[in-house]
Amino acid sequence: MAASISKEEVAHVADLAKLNFSDQELEHYTGQLQEIVGICEKLAAVDTTGVAPTYSVTPNVNHLRADEPVDWQQQQALLDQAPESAAGLIKVPAILKQED
Partner 1 sequence: MTYHFFEQDLTSLHQALQAGDVTAEALTKGAFENIKASDPDLEAFVRTHEESALAQARAVDEKGDFSHFLAGIPMAMKDNIATAGLETTAASRILQGFKPVYDATVTKRLKDAGAVITGKANMDEFAMGGSSETSYYKQTKNAWDLTKVPGGSSGGSAAAVAAGQVPYALGSDTGGSIRQPAAFNGIVGMKPTYGRVSRFGLFAMASSMDQIGPLTRTVKDNALVLSAIAGFDEHDATSVDLPATDFTAKMGQSIAGLRIAVPKEYFQEGIDPVVASQVRAAIAQLKDLGAQVDEVSLPHTHYGVAAYYVLMAAEASSNLQRYDGIRYGYRAPEAKTLEEVYRETRSTGFGPEVKRRIMLGTYSLSAGAYDAFFKKAAQVRTLIIQDFDQVFEKYDLIVGPTTPTQPYGIGEEIGDPKAMYLGDALTIPVNLAGLPAMSINAGFNAGLPIGLQLIGKAFDEATLYQVAAAFEQENDFTKALPDIAAKY
How many CA atoms does the CB half-sphere of 25 hold within 13 Å? 6
| Residue 2 beta carbon to partner 1: minimum distance, rounded to whole angstroms | 7
Residue 2 binds partner 1 (CB under 8 A):
yes
Total residues binding partner 1 (CB under 8 A): 52
Among 3, 4, 23, 44, which residue interacts with partner 1 (rule: CB under 8 A)?
Answer: 44
DSSP, collapsed to helix, strand or coil, labels residue 76 as: helix
Q: What is the DSSP letter of 95?
A: S
Cβ-Cβ contacts under 8 Å for 15 (sequence gap 6 or more): none
Residue 4 binds partner 1 (CB under 8 A):
no
Among 4, 24, 70, 72, which residue interacts with partner 1 (rule: CB under 8 A)?
Answer: 72
Phi, psi for 89 (deg, rounded to 5): -130, 155
Among 3, 4, 24, 83, which residue interacts with partner 1 (rule: CB under 8 A)?
Answer: 83
